[in-house]
Amino acid sequence: MLHDEGGTGRPILLLHGLMGSARTWRRHVPWLREHGHVYTFDAAGHGRPAPDELTTEAFVADLETHLTGITEPLVVIGHSMGALHAWCFAATHPERVTALVLEDMAPDFRGRTAANWAAMIAQWPQPFPTGDAVFDFFGPVAGRYFLDSFVRRDDGWYLHGEVETFRDISEEWGSRHFWDEWNSIRVPALLLEGEFTITPEGQMRRMVTRPGTDHVLVDGAGHLVHDDRPDEFRTAVEHFLTAHALSASRLE
Protein backbone atom coordinates (compact mmCIF):
# COMPACT_ATOMS: atom_id res chain seq x y z
CA MET A 1 0.00 0.00 0.00
CA LEU A 2 3.05 2.21 0.46
CA HIS A 3 4.72 3.07 -2.85
CA ASP A 4 8.35 4.13 -3.06
CA GLU A 5 8.44 6.88 -5.70
CA GLY A 6 12.19 7.55 -5.48
CA GLY A 7 14.33 10.52 -4.56
CA THR A 8 16.84 11.01 -1.76
CA GLY A 9 16.92 12.76 1.59
CA ARG A 10 14.09 13.38 4.03
CA PRO A 11 10.99 11.22 3.49
CA ILE A 12 7.96 12.98 2.01
CA LEU A 13 4.67 11.09 2.28
CA LEU A 14 1.69 11.95 0.07
CA LEU A 15 -1.84 11.08 1.27
CA HIS A 16 -4.76 11.25 -1.18
CA GLY A 17 -8.30 12.43 -0.60
CA LEU A 18 -11.57 10.53 -0.34
CA MET A 19 -12.21 8.39 -3.43
CA GLY A 20 -8.67 9.12 -4.63
CA SER A 21 -5.58 6.95 -4.87
CA ALA A 22 -1.82 7.19 -4.68
CA ARG A 23 -1.83 7.81 -8.43
CA THR A 24 -3.58 11.16 -8.08
CA TRP A 25 -0.19 12.61 -7.04
CA ARG A 26 1.68 11.37 -10.11
CA ARG A 27 1.96 14.79 -11.76
CA HIS A 28 3.68 16.19 -8.67
CA VAL A 29 6.00 13.32 -7.77
CA PRO A 30 8.81 14.37 -10.20
CA TRP A 31 9.38 17.82 -8.72
CA LEU A 32 8.83 16.63 -5.15
CA ARG A 33 11.75 14.21 -5.63
CA GLU A 34 13.96 17.32 -5.73
CA HIS A 35 13.03 17.91 -2.08
CA GLY A 36 13.27 14.41 -0.61
CA HIS A 37 12.50 10.71 -0.88
CA VAL A 38 8.87 10.53 -1.98
CA TYR A 39 6.32 7.93 -0.93
CA THR A 40 2.65 7.63 -1.88
CA PHE A 41 0.01 5.60 -0.07
CA ASP A 42 -3.33 3.98 -0.92
CA ALA A 43 -5.72 4.43 2.00
CA ALA A 44 -7.72 1.50 3.30
CA GLY A 45 -11.09 1.14 1.59
CA HIS A 46 -9.64 2.47 -1.65
CA GLY A 47 -8.86 -0.55 -3.78
CA ARG A 48 -8.28 -2.72 -0.70
CA PRO A 49 -10.34 -3.73 2.36
CA ALA A 50 -11.59 -1.01 4.67
CA PRO A 51 -11.07 -1.12 8.45
CA ASP A 52 -13.74 -2.90 10.45
CA GLU A 53 -14.67 0.46 11.97
CA LEU A 54 -14.64 3.46 9.64
CA THR A 55 -13.13 5.89 12.13
CA THR A 56 -10.29 8.31 11.56
CA GLU A 57 -8.37 6.53 14.31
CA ALA A 58 -8.63 3.24 12.39
CA PHE A 59 -7.26 4.84 9.22
CA VAL A 60 -4.40 6.43 11.15
CA ALA A 61 -3.59 3.05 12.74
CA ASP A 62 -3.60 1.42 9.29
CA LEU A 63 -1.24 4.11 8.01
CA GLU A 64 1.13 3.58 10.94
CA THR A 65 1.19 -0.15 10.23
CA HIS A 66 2.47 0.46 6.72
CA LEU A 67 5.10 3.05 7.73
CA THR A 68 7.15 0.84 10.01
CA GLY A 69 10.00 0.64 7.50
CA ILE A 70 10.52 4.42 7.51
CA THR A 71 12.37 5.47 10.63
CA GLU A 72 13.17 9.11 9.84
CA PRO A 73 10.51 11.74 10.65
CA LEU A 74 8.24 12.50 7.71
CA VAL A 75 7.05 15.56 5.88
CA VAL A 76 3.41 14.65 5.22
CA ILE A 77 1.42 16.26 2.39
CA GLY A 78 -2.29 15.45 2.45
CA HIS A 79 -5.31 16.41 0.38
CA SER A 80 -8.79 16.51 1.97
CA MET A 81 -9.23 13.18 3.80
CA GLY A 82 -5.47 12.70 3.48
CA ALA A 83 -4.91 16.06 5.18
CA LEU A 84 -7.11 15.02 8.10
CA HIS A 85 -5.27 11.72 8.40
CA ALA A 86 -1.96 13.59 8.19
CA TRP A 87 -2.60 15.88 11.15
CA CYS A 88 -4.26 13.14 13.20
CA PHE A 89 -1.21 10.95 12.52
CA ALA A 90 1.01 13.83 13.68
CA ALA A 91 -1.10 14.25 16.82
CA THR A 92 -0.95 10.53 17.62
CA HIS A 93 2.71 10.03 16.67
CA PRO A 94 4.41 13.42 17.14
CA GLU A 95 7.88 11.89 16.84
CA ARG A 96 7.07 10.60 13.34
CA VAL A 97 6.25 13.95 11.66
CA THR A 98 8.46 16.96 11.06
CA ALA A 99 6.16 19.16 8.91
CA LEU A 100 2.70 19.15 7.32
CA VAL A 101 1.18 20.44 4.08
CA LEU A 102 -2.63 20.29 4.28
CA GLU A 103 -4.81 20.91 1.24
CA ASP A 104 -8.43 22.04 1.55
CA MET A 105 -9.54 20.35 4.77
CA ALA A 106 -10.94 21.68 8.06
CA PRO A 107 -11.49 20.20 11.53
CA ASP A 108 -15.26 20.58 11.96
CA PHE A 109 -17.97 19.45 9.54
CA ARG A 110 -20.52 18.72 12.25
CA GLY A 111 -24.12 18.85 11.09
CA ARG A 112 -23.30 17.98 7.49
CA THR A 113 -24.37 14.73 5.88
CA ALA A 114 -23.06 12.73 2.94
CA ALA A 115 -26.36 10.96 2.25
CA ASN A 116 -27.36 13.02 -0.81
CA TRP A 117 -23.81 12.97 -2.15
CA ALA A 118 -23.64 9.18 -1.81
CA ALA A 119 -26.98 8.75 -3.54
CA MET A 120 -25.67 10.80 -6.46
CA ILE A 121 -22.52 8.66 -6.70
CA ALA A 122 -24.65 5.51 -6.74
CA GLN A 123 -26.27 6.82 -9.92
CA TRP A 124 -23.02 7.24 -11.83
CA PRO A 125 -23.12 5.31 -15.12
CA GLN A 126 -20.70 2.52 -14.22
CA PRO A 127 -18.80 1.18 -15.92
CA PHE A 128 -17.48 4.15 -17.84
CA PRO A 129 -16.63 2.53 -21.18
CA THR A 130 -13.55 4.67 -21.95
CA GLY A 131 -11.24 7.21 -20.36
CA ASP A 132 -12.82 9.88 -22.56
CA ALA A 133 -16.20 9.00 -21.06
CA VAL A 134 -14.80 9.75 -17.59
CA PHE A 135 -13.57 13.18 -18.78
CA ASP A 136 -16.87 13.89 -20.51
CA PHE A 137 -18.81 13.11 -17.33
CA PHE A 138 -16.62 14.87 -14.73
CA GLY A 139 -14.73 17.51 -16.70
CA PRO A 140 -10.95 17.84 -17.09
CA VAL A 141 -9.90 18.30 -13.44
CA ALA A 142 -12.15 15.87 -11.58
CA GLY A 143 -11.98 13.54 -14.58
CA ARG A 144 -8.22 13.28 -14.20
CA TYR A 145 -8.60 12.62 -10.46
CA PHE A 146 -11.09 9.80 -10.97
CA LEU A 147 -9.35 8.28 -13.97
CA ASP A 148 -6.23 8.01 -11.80
CA SER A 149 -8.30 6.28 -9.12
CA PHE A 150 -10.80 4.03 -10.89
CA VAL A 151 -10.18 0.36 -11.62
CA ARG A 152 -10.04 -0.67 -15.26
CA ARG A 153 -11.73 -3.95 -16.16
CA ASP A 154 -12.45 -5.59 -19.51
CA ASP A 155 -15.72 -3.71 -19.92
CA GLY A 156 -14.60 -0.29 -18.65
CA TRP A 157 -13.75 1.84 -15.62
CA TYR A 158 -15.22 1.25 -12.15
CA LEU A 159 -15.08 2.82 -8.71
CA HIS A 160 -12.25 1.33 -6.66
CA GLY A 161 -14.34 1.01 -3.50
CA GLU A 162 -17.86 0.77 -2.14
CA VAL A 163 -20.13 3.82 -2.17
CA GLU A 164 -21.28 2.89 1.33
CA THR A 165 -17.67 2.94 2.56
CA PHE A 166 -16.98 6.36 1.07
CA ARG A 167 -20.26 7.65 2.50
CA ASP A 168 -19.58 6.36 6.00
CA ILE A 169 -16.03 7.75 6.04
CA SER A 170 -17.35 11.24 5.43
CA GLU A 171 -20.39 10.75 7.66
CA GLU A 172 -18.01 10.44 10.61
CA TRP A 173 -16.77 13.95 9.90
CA GLY A 174 -20.32 15.24 10.33
CA SER A 175 -20.57 13.75 13.81
CA ARG A 176 -17.42 15.03 15.55
CA HIS A 177 -14.65 17.62 15.36
CA PHE A 178 -10.87 17.35 15.17
CA TRP A 179 -9.83 20.66 16.75
CA ASP A 180 -8.14 18.96 19.71
CA GLU A 181 -5.93 16.91 17.39
CA TRP A 182 -5.08 19.99 15.34
CA ASN A 183 -4.23 22.17 18.32
CA SER A 184 -1.99 19.50 19.85
CA ILE A 185 0.43 19.51 16.89
CA ARG A 186 3.80 21.23 17.38
CA VAL A 187 5.31 21.07 13.88
CA PRO A 188 5.27 23.69 11.09
CA ALA A 189 2.27 23.45 8.78
CA LEU A 190 1.19 24.98 5.48
CA LEU A 191 -2.53 25.20 4.75
CA LEU A 192 -3.62 25.46 1.11
CA GLU A 193 -7.23 26.51 0.64
CA GLY A 194 -9.04 26.68 -2.68
CA GLU A 195 -11.02 29.81 -3.46
CA PHE A 196 -14.01 27.51 -4.02
CA THR A 197 -13.36 25.35 -0.99
CA ILE A 198 -15.62 22.63 0.38
CA THR A 199 -14.61 23.52 3.95
CA PRO A 200 -16.88 25.46 6.32
CA GLU A 201 -16.43 29.21 5.97
CA GLY A 202 -13.46 30.62 7.86
CA GLN A 203 -12.26 27.40 9.46
CA MET A 204 -8.94 27.15 7.65
CA ARG A 205 -8.16 30.77 8.53
CA ARG A 206 -9.02 29.94 12.15
CA MET A 207 -6.54 27.04 12.01
CA VAL A 208 -3.77 29.58 11.42
CA THR A 209 -4.07 30.73 15.03
CA ARG A 210 -2.07 27.62 15.93
CA PRO A 211 1.59 28.76 16.14
CA GLY A 212 3.78 27.75 13.22
CA THR A 213 0.98 27.67 10.67
CA ASP A 214 0.93 29.43 7.29
CA HIS A 215 -2.14 29.79 5.07
CA VAL A 216 -2.33 30.31 1.32
CA LEU A 217 -5.63 30.98 -0.45
CA VAL A 218 -5.29 29.78 -4.05
CA ASP A 219 -7.35 32.01 -6.33
CA GLY A 220 -9.51 30.21 -8.84
CA ALA A 221 -8.93 26.77 -7.33
CA GLY A 222 -11.61 24.33 -6.31
CA HIS A 223 -11.21 21.46 -3.88
CA LEU A 224 -8.55 19.74 -6.03
CA VAL A 225 -6.03 22.54 -5.60
CA HIS A 226 -3.02 20.48 -6.74
CA ASP A 227 -4.71 19.63 -10.05
CA ASP A 228 -6.77 22.79 -10.49
CA ARG A 229 -3.85 25.20 -9.98
CA PRO A 230 -0.73 23.00 -10.16
CA ASP A 231 1.76 25.84 -10.64
CA GLU A 232 0.47 27.78 -7.65
CA PHE A 233 0.41 24.58 -5.60
CA ARG A 234 4.01 23.82 -6.51
CA THR A 235 5.21 27.34 -5.77
CA ALA A 236 3.65 27.38 -2.30
CA VAL A 237 4.80 23.89 -1.37
CA GLU A 238 8.36 24.38 -2.63
CA HIS A 239 8.67 27.65 -0.71
CA PHE A 240 7.48 25.88 2.47
CA LEU A 241 9.72 22.83 1.99
CA THR A 242 12.77 24.97 1.29
CA ALA A 243 12.14 27.15 4.33
CA HIS A 244 11.60 24.08 6.49
CA ALA A 245 14.82 22.45 5.24
CA LEU A 246 16.80 25.62 6.01
CA SER A 247 15.28 25.85 9.47
CA ALA A 248 16.03 22.20 10.18
CA SER A 249 19.64 22.58 9.05
CA ARG A 250 20.18 25.47 11.48
CA LEU A 251 19.03 23.24 14.34
CA GLU A 252 21.50 20.47 13.51
Q: Is residue 149 part of a domain?
A: no
pLDDT digits (tens, 9 = 90+) for 54-93: 999 999 999 999 999 899 999 999 999 999 999 999 999 9
Q: Is residue 132 part of a domain?
A: no
Q: Is residue 76 part of a domain?
A: yes
- Residue 64's contacts (CB-CB under 8 Å, 6 or more residues apart) are 89, 92, 93, 96
* Domain harbouring 62, CATH code: 3.40.50.1820
Range of the domain at 47: 2-109+176-246
Beta bridge partners of 214: 190
Q: Is residue 138 part of a domain?
A: no
To the nearest 10°, report the CA torsion of 235, 237, 240, 242: -80
Cα separation of 193 and 60, whole Å? 23
Q: Is residue 71 part of a domain?
A: yes
- Residue 129's contacts (CB-CB under 8 Å, 6 or more residues apart) are 155, 156, 157
Q: How confident is the model at residue 180, as a pLDDT?
A: 97
Cα separation of 115 and 126, whole Å? 19
Residue 36: CB atoms within 10 A of its CB come to 19
Q: Do 163 and 170 contact (CB within 8 A), yes or no?
A: no
pLDDT at 251 over 90: no
Q: Is residue 216 part of a domain?
A: yes
The number of folded domains in the chain is 1
* pTM of this structure: 0.95
Q: Is residue 155 part of a domain?
A: no
pLDDT digits (tens, 9 = 90+) for 9-36: 999 999 999 999 999 999 999 999 999 9
Q: Is residue 153 part of a domain?
A: no
